Structure 1
Amino acid sequence: MRKLLWGLWVLVAFSACKKPEDASGSPAGVVDEQAPSAADSVVEAGPYPVTKEKLDAYVGYQRRMLEVYGSLMKGLQNLGALVDAGTPEAMAAAREGLKVVEAKAKAEAEARREAQLSEADVNGIAEVVTAVISQRQLGRTLQYEEELKKLEALQAKLPPEQQQGMAPQVASMRAQVEAFQTLADARRAHGDANVDVVLTREEDLIQNYQEMIRVFTGTRR
């Protein structure tokens, strides 16, 4: 149970939103970023417009963050045991480990700057990418297309009256396959243009998605 709770804590640390900072300046060690532009404000009014250029930059940003998260996981892997030890020395070592988490925010800012993406860009693109790639990955995992082919082949071998009995089941499976193929939900939420742009880098994005899972599960080589 402790390991599970510790894993959840790490995930929360990764996904936590940045708190608004005081207007007087950034804390020491945090890389300053440009203030949100008028274009960033417009993004909030509707679906973020994903362009091919920004998507390509985002793919590179993802790959950079894979290395950041990999280093972060290594730096935190013994932190739970140190906290459990409870000794002053262990707690001091744990505080050193938490500096790795602080370094993550700086690394993210640097990766965004290298990719020439703002925080609004990253968040906007990530929302569309997640909607598209998670559905694609789920479709591959569940293998609905293969299951549909098997179901249709079975139906074809049955007598006509039994084929009719299977028709609703086949139709339901076909609708699920179509939903994964057309990405209807993602298109409604983010627009056809955004989804079509993301699909131009589908294989790269799925690879990054799978690599990130390996990072968090400790199975990445």
Structure 2
Amino acid sequence: MYAVISGWSGDLVEERRKLRALVLYVLGITALVVTVHLNFGMGRDVPFFAVALCCAVCGYIMLVPRAGSFKIYRVPQSGMKIDETEDKSALDQAVKNAAMEEHSKLAMALGYLMESGFYRNENLTFRRLAARLDVPEHRLRKLINERFGYRNFSDYINQLRIEEASERLLREQDTPIQNVALDVGYRSLSSFNRAFRQIQSCTPTEFRANNSKN
């Protein structure tokens, strides 16, 4: 009875769940009849116990060939053996496909978030970004590294900020460089200049002067 009940909640095969109920029913009736006979002094009724035992055994036998003694496995059809290697390969591929799909969804969500200007937040950290996307940090870390090729978070954010800053420096000739730096998320002009030089190989002032339309 313990074997029947213990695996019930995790059993995903509907037919086997019904068989579990049938076995419990048979065992329950058997126990009830035994109790009644014992209470009325009929405990020595050998034929009865034979019938009771037979009911319990029959219930178990009904379950074994159809459900594999409560174990989840597929019964080979037409004498064919199960190719466990093929099954494992198919399962691995399904898991891989599911992971790729989740990876793509996360990349899309990250793209939308950054297009909205989330990178301009001067207090932005990797942990806050993961929390905003509601994903584990290790998943986001893997995405930024493998999908976008960045080895650290600051390089990724600096790239987005400097791209916008470069565009604004050329489009808004009269806007002070410091204003642009603060607008795209930097706390100081020095940190902006350092990141700008690293990406554009020149200072913001040089970039604006060299690329301005005459």
| The two structures share one fold, judged by TM-score above 0.5 | no
Relative contact order higher in (CA < 8 Å, ≥ 6 apart): 1
TM-score band by shorter chain is: 0.3 to 0.5
After TM superposition, the score normalised by the length of structure 1 is 0.34
Structure of higher CA gyration radius: 2
Higher helix share: 1
After TM superposition, the score normalised by the length of structure 2 is 0.35
